[in-house]
């Protein structure tokens, strides 16, 4: 039983309350402020959720000061070294690592759900050839709710399971269709004899006129990147999925909302922005000029791929991806990579700069991921889509956790109103 309380006293009213303090399994305690409006007549103010725990969760833990990331208790470094994306997906969804038959059953189910309805496929023809793939993916994922009526009862656990397998299986197919549409190439159907990432690469790069062999190095690199991007607790897109889902909206709409939230450059859109920034910087000689711009509060320029709301230390995912860059570029025969060289120098210089040191700004997951995606020939506009494919597993895990919680209520923040006070309507001829 919880006995800790946090004393809150309001000198104006003389009311004192002992707010319950709740402890997690690790991490800082939280103060349960649920009673303060009733007892003190006030709300709390935390506009960007900097210090507010929006829910209770058992999925992912981050210690931002130490640079620790755990999925269901397992360090991301161990999962990256020893696991696979499908195994990590099972872990995030179910809470435990699968045994062999559970993993086999899960992989089989995912591979049997990879095709999308042919009518859904025709949606892509309605998009302009230069539509951003995130726009297409967000729209088509949302449109899935018009097709899969047999699995949309959110109160039915079997429907929830079918939905989760469907969306995880179909999002690479949707992403590949967006890519092929942008390329003006015919859609390539999924191949269920291939593993998750090999199938994705095949759908991306195969063409009907000649055989295509998936490079196992590329598939392995993608699998590792997907593990690292699979979940990150209550980030902006996951919180968006939870908020949209808390209304009882169908889960495809909630995931589509998550895709849209991920697109922003402060979030998943940063991987695309990093590559554009590196090209803009162009050479090591220009680094000081761009660092000065990043520090200038009158400039809109930020060092993309740097900084994080939670990490005040190295993002552990960035460290793994940087190491991976050396190995993957070498194996793909692209060791001589000027953008990677530039990124390494930029990191080195920024980490010694007083501005970045004082604010504890370190490279985040997006700083190096684009270098690998580029080496795999994935176009820049598809980088955030890659992130979305992997993060779908996290979004679904959080949605399932929320919907399965009997105490779930609609998410509904309050506000500090600073607009006009009550006034009477003025006829148009009386207005100045």
- Residue 95 CB, shortest distance to ligand CMC, in Å, is 24
- Residue 305 CB, shortest distance to ligand CMC, in Å, is 5
- Residue 89 CB, shortest distance to ligand CMC, in Å, is 19
Coil, strand or helix at 10: strand
Residue nearest to ligand CMC (CB): 307
In angstroms, the CA 119 to CA 9 distance is: 61
In angstroms, the CA 199 to CA 206 distance is: 10
> What is the DSSP code (8-state) at residue 143?
H
353 in catalytic set: no
How is 188-213 classified by DSSP, letter by letter? ----TTS-HHHHHHHHHH-BTTB---
Residue with tokens 């939280």: 30
- Residue 318 CB, shortest distance to ligand CMC, in Å, is 9
- Residue 113 CB, shortest distance to ligand CMC, in Å, is 27
- Residue 265 CB, shortest distance to ligand CMC, in Å, is 6
Q: Which is nearer to ligand CMC, 218 or 361 (CB)?
A: 361
φ and ψ at 54, to 5 degrees?
-85, -15
Q: Which is nearer to ligand CMC, 133 or 307 (CB)?
A: 307
In angstroms, the CA 82 to CA 77 distance is: 9
- Residue 382 CB, shortest distance to ligand CMC, in Å, is 16
Q: Which of 223, 231, 315, 366 is catalytic?
A: 366
Q: Which is nearer to ligand CMC, 266 or 335 (CB)?
A: 266
Coil, strand or helix at 322: helix
Edge-to-edge order in the sheet of strand 30-31: 5-10, 15-22, 30-31
Q: Which is nearer to ligand CMC, 321 or 402 (CB)?
A: 321
Q: Which is nearer to ligand CMC, 67 or 98 (CB)?
A: 67
Coil, strand or helix at 35: coil
The strand pairing partners of 7, in sequence order, are 18
Q: Which of 179, 181, 267, 308 is catalytic?
A: 308
Nearest to 385 by CA among 217, 182, 194: 182
Residues near ligand CMC, by CB under 6 A? 235, 266-268, 270, 294, 302-309, 359, 361, 364-366
- Residue 361 CB, shortest distance to ligand CMC, in Å, is 5
Q: Which is nearer to ligand CMC, 167 or 274 (CB)?
A: 274
> What is the DSSP code (8-state) at residue 230?
S
Contacts of 184 (CB under 8 A, 6+ apart): 129
Q: Helix count (H) and strand count (E) of the chain?
A: 18, 6
In angstroms, the CA 310 to CA 65 distance is: 8
How is 78-141 classified by DSSP, letter by letter? HHHHH--HHHHHHHHHHSS---HHHHHHHHHHHHHT----HHHHHGGGGS-TT--HHHHHHHHH
308 in catalytic set: yes
Q: Which is nearer to ligand CMC, 63 or 161 (CB)?
A: 63
Q: Which is nearer to ligand CMC, 120 or 281 (CB)?
A: 281
Task: Give catalytic residue positions.
Answer: 308, 366
């Amino acid at each position: 039983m919880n006995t800790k309380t946090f004393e809150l006293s309001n000198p104006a009213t003389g009311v004192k309350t002992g707010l319950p303090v709740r402890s997690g399994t690790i991490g800082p305690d939280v103060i349960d402020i649920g009673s303060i409006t009733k007892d003190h007549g006030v709300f709390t103010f935390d506009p960007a959720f900097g210090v507010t725990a929006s829910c209770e969760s058992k999925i992912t833990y981050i210690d931002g000061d130490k640079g620790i990331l755990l999925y269901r208790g397992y360090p991301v470094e161990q999962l990256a070294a020893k696991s696979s994306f499908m195994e990590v997906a099972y872990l995030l969804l179910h809470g435990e690592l699968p045994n062999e038959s559970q993993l086999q059953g899960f992989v089989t189910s995912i591979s049997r759900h990879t095709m999308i309805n042919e009518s859904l496929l025709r949606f892509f023809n309605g998009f302009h050839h230069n539509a951003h793939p995130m726009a297409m993916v967000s729209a088509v994922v949302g449109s899935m709710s018009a097709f899969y009526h047999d699995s949309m009862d959110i109160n039915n656990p079997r429907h929830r399971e079918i939905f989760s397998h469907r969306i995880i299986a179909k999002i690479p197919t949707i992403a590949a269709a967006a890519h092929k549409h942008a390329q003006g190439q015919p859609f390539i159907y999924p191949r269920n004899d291939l593993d998750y990432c090999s199938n994705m690469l095949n759908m991306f790069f195969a063409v009907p006129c000649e055989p295509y062999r998936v490079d196992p190095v590329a598939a392995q690199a993608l699998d590792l990147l997907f593990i690292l991007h699979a979940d990150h607790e209550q980030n902006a897109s996951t919180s968006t999925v939870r908020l949209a889902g808390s209304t009882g909206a169908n889960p495809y709409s909630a995931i589509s909302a998550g895709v849209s939230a991920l697109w922003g450059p402060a979030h998943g859109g940063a991987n695309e922005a990093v590559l554009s920034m590196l090209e803009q910087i162009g050479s090591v000689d220009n680094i000081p000029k761009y660092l000065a711009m990043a520090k200038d509060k009158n400039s809109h320029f930020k060092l993309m791929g740097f900084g994080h709301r939670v990490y005040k230390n190295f993002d552990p995912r960035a460290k793994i991806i940087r190491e991976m860059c050396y190995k993957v570029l070498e194996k793909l025969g692209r060791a001589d990579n000027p953008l990677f060289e530039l990124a390494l120098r930029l990191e080195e210089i920024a980490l010694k700069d007083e501005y970045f040191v004082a604010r504890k700004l370190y490279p985040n997951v997006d700083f190096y991921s684009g270098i690998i995606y580029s080496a795999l020939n994935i176009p820049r506009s598809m980088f955030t889509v890659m992130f979305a494919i992997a993060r779908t597993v996290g979004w679904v895990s959080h949605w399932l956790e929320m919907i399965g919680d009997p105490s779930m209520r609609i998410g509904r923040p309050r506000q500090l109103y600073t607009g006009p006070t009550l006034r009477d309507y003025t006829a148009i001829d009386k207005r100045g």
